Structure 1
C-alpha cells in the first residue's frame, strides 16, 4: 500500500478562525466533493455512516482562544490530510481540492478562507513492529463508546482504566474488514507522555488525549494506522498521528 499526505494552505481574510474548526473543514470537504465531477464521489464518503479511510489535522499559527473564536498571529493556516491509496481516496480528495484553488470559502463573523496551495508528500515507511507516535498538531485521539439504546456517547482518555480496552474495541471494529484478525489482536497501544485535551465539537465538549503513544503491531498495520489515524471520529479531525521513531529495540 502507498500512503500520502495532502497539504492545503489557506489564506484568511481575518487573522481568526472558528473554535469548532473541525466542523469548518468538514464543510469544506463536503463542498469540494460536491463541486467535483458533479458530486460523483460525495456519497462515497458522506452517505449514511460510511467508514472513511482518511484523517486530517489543522495547523493554526499561534492560536489564542478569545471571545468565542481563535485569534491567530498570521492569516495563513494549513490543513493536512492523510489518506490510504488502496481505494484512490488520496486521488479523489486531491482532485476535489484542486478545483477549489483560488475560490473564496465563507466563514462566520464575516471572515473567509481561500485555498492558495495544494501539495502532496509521501509518508515514511515503517519496517519495524514497534514505533512511537505523537498526536499531530491540531489533532487529538478520541475514544468513544456509543450507547445505541440511550443514544449517548462516553469518551475515554489516556489515564482512564478502560482506555486501552475501549480503544482496542474501536480498532477492531474499524479494521476487521481491512487487517487480518490475528494481526488486529496483536495491536498494543501504550500512552507514554500524554495530557487531556477538551474539544468543542458540534456544540458538545468532549475529552480527548494528546501526546506520545507507543504502538506495537505488524509493520503494515503500523503504516495503516499512521496513514488513516487512530481512535474514533478520525475523518472529523481527530486521531492523526506523526511518527517520532520506529528505531526501537
Structure 2
C-alpha cells in the first residue's frame, strides 16, 4: 500500500544529511504506537519490506544545509504487507498534529495522510522512474563500496536481489531478471556523514510480474527503508 503524508516543518531548513532525521521520525512514530513493533523492525539487520521518498521544495543548498521554499513537505511511503501497512497508517494517525523533533533545531507535524492508488502489474517488463536514488551496495570485509548502475553495478545489484529473495521466488526467475538503464544520472548524497554515489532516472526491468510487483512495492536497491531505492511505474 502507498501513502502520501503531508508534513509541516517548524523551520524551512534541513541538513544535507536529512534522511537520518526522517529515520528518527519513523522510529519515534512507531515506538509511540507500538514499542514491540519498533523493536522488531529496527533491532534486526534484515531488509525491511517498505520504502519511502521525500518531496522537498528546494530553494537553495548552502554549507551542508537545504533551504526550502515552503514549510510543507511530502513523504511518500510504500509498504508491501497489508498488516504492516495498517500498523504504519495507525502509527502515523496516532501522531497526527503532534510536534516531533527531527533534530535539535527543527521539528515536524503530521498534517494529512492520503492513501494512493496502487498500479497493477500484469506484464513481465515495465519501465520505472526513481522516486529516491537507487543505492547499489557491495559489502566487503573492509568496507561498503557503492556502485552506479553500470555493468558491474547491475551485476552486484542482481546478486543482492538473488541473495535477499532466494527463499521467496524461484531461483530460475531471479536469475532471469534484466535491469536496463534508460535515462539515468549519477549523483552523490550524504548519508550518516558518508558521501555515497547513487543513481537517479528511469530503468526498464524484465522479470516475472510478481517480482516486478515486489520492486514496485518495496524498492529495488539497498537502504530502502532509509529513504532510498523507491520506484514508481511509468508504463
TM-score (norm 1): 0.90
Within 1, Cα distance between the matches of 2:127 and 2:51?
Answer: 19
Tell me if structure 1 keeps the 8 A contact 2:222–2:229. yes
Q: Distance in 1 between matches of 2:109 and 2:13?
A: 14
Of the candidates 123, 131, 140, which is equivalent to residue 128 of structure 1?
123
- 1:42–1:169 distance in 2 versus 1, CA, 3 Å: same
User: 17, 20, 23: which is aligned to 1:20?
Assistant: 17
**Aligned CA-pair RMSD:** 1.3
Alignment of 1:128-147 (within 5 A): 128-136=123-131, 139-147=132-140
For residue 45 of structure 2, the aligned residue among 46, 49, 54 is 49
Q: 1:79 is matched with which residue: 71, 75, 79?
A: 75
For the pair 1:59 / 2:49, whether they are aligned, the reply is: no
Partner Cα distance (1:193, 1:171) in 2: 22
Please give the per-residue CA displacement for 1:147-184, whole angstroms capped at 9, x wherever unaligned.
Answer: 1x32x01111023x311210111111221222222211
- TM superposition shift of 1:67: 2.6
Distance 1:232 1:63 in 2: 28
Q: 2:166: which partner in 1?
A: 176
| 5+ long unaligned stretches in structure 2 | none
Q: Distance in 1 between matches of 2:164 and 2:29?
A: 25
Which shows bigger deviation, 184-193 or 173-182? 173-182
Give runs of aligned pairs for residues 33-44 of structure 1, distance below 5 A. Answer: 33-37=30-34, 39-44=35-40
3-state SS of the aligned residue for 2:88? helix
Q: Residues of 2 paired with 1:179 and 1:91: CA distance?
A: 25
State the Cα deviation string for residues 188-227 of structure 1 (Å, max 9, x = none): 1010111001010000000000011000011111111011
> CA 1:109–1:47 in structure 2 vs 1: closer, same or farther (change >3 Å)?
closer
Note the C-alpha offset of 1:63. Answer: 4.5
Aligned residues: 235
1:156 paired with 2:147, answer yes
Q: Which residue of the partner structure matches residue 30 of structure 1?
A: 27
Q: Given that residues 44 and 50 in structure 1 are in contact (C-alpha distance below 8 angstroms), is that contact kept between their aligned partners in structure 2?
A: no
Q: 1:222 to 1:12 in 2, by over 3 A?
A: same
